[in-house]
Amino acid sequence: MNISMANVSQLVSRLAEVGYLAGPDLAMAAYLALRLQRPLLLEGEPGVGKTAFAQAMSETVGRPLLRLQCYYGIDLKSAVYDWNYARQMLTIRMAEEREEGHGKIQEDVFGPEFLIARPLLQALTMKPAPVLLIDEVDRTDEAFEALLLEFLGEYQVSIPESGTVRADEIPLVVLTSNRTRDVHDALRRRCLYAWIGYPSPERERAILARRRPELSEQLLMQMTAFVARLREEPLVKRPGLAESIAWAEALSVLGAKVLTPEVVESTLGLLLKYYDDVEMLRRPVGREMTSLEQWLHESGTGAS
């Protein structure tokens, strides 16, 4: 993928133009992935912006986004290619009726018109080359990772019946992992790497301000301080940036000006996704306050 990008700062600026504020480590890894034509592996907790980054890169470089959503049991037929068996059988029967030779029939039914391209094969043949998102690769098994090695190392796939397909234009490949299991070292070696952590309150505030400019600076400061405090707790699922964005959208719809215990209580389901986490904030502290009210009181982010 030959993309004119003078330096890392230019990439950061272009990403910002499409609404993605990339940190320095991520920006450097992405810039090198473009220049070196190497896959990029992104790891981090769910909801921190890994998938959104691939979408933003697609807009930034002006190339289509092609997505392969991974899951346990995904295989070659789902990810790389399959044959149109119904069409093959019809062709064989028609050839038999014409009494054509068996060898010629076999050759005919493995032509490109019978091949069904899945995302990995599509990425090699599309022009212009796309941004290929291989999302949540940690959900697959080792057998699928082995399938990826040839693709990531050589930008090619082997089809036994018809030969090897190589990329004329190299796609930008972005793999994401939530670390539900370890990705094999052989796959990691083929990729550049970046970790996407939870954003700092300042950076998160800047992101939310871009998404919801109608929210006041005071409310944004209260929101990001509250979310940062939540992430320090031993929750089943800490809120990511995606949850913060959804919360900001909800507070905008509700016309909230400041955080109050009532506002936070009524919208907790946008930040927390497990009953135990919600109940932790509702537990009483002393006679008059819940944990939530105490947090807001101590931090000064809302009315007590």
Running along the chain, 304 residues long, what does each successive block of 10 average in pLDDT? 78 94 94 95 95 96 96 93 85 72 61 89 95 97 92 93 90 96 94 96 94 94 92 91 96 92 90 91 71 69 51
**223 contacts 248 by C-beta, under 8 angstroms:** yes
Strand pairing category for 156-159 and 163-166: antiparallel
Q: Could you give the CA distance from residue 53 to residue 196 in angstroms, rounded to a whole number? A: 10
CB-based contacts of 25, cutoff 8 Å, min separation 6: 194, 195
Q: Could you give the CA distance from residue 89 to residue 121 in angstroms, rounded to a whole number? A: 23
- Residue found by looking up tokens 């954003």 in the block: 199
What pTM does this model have? 0.87
SS3 17: helix
What pLDDT sits at residue 293?
A: 75
Q: Could you give the CA distance from residue 291 to residue 297 in angstroms, rounded to a whole number? A: 10
What is the separation, in whole angstroms, between the first and last Cα of the chain?
55
Which helix (H) or strand (E) segment is 27 a member of?
Answer: helix 24-36
In terms of DSSP H, where are the helices of 62-84? 76-79
For the chain, how are helix, strand and coil distributed in percent, rounded to 5?
50, 15, 35
- Residue found by looking up tokens 């940062």 in the block: 228
SS3 203: helix
> Is the preceding omega at residue 24 within 30 degrees of 0, hence cis?
no
Neighbours of 273 (CB within 10 A): 16
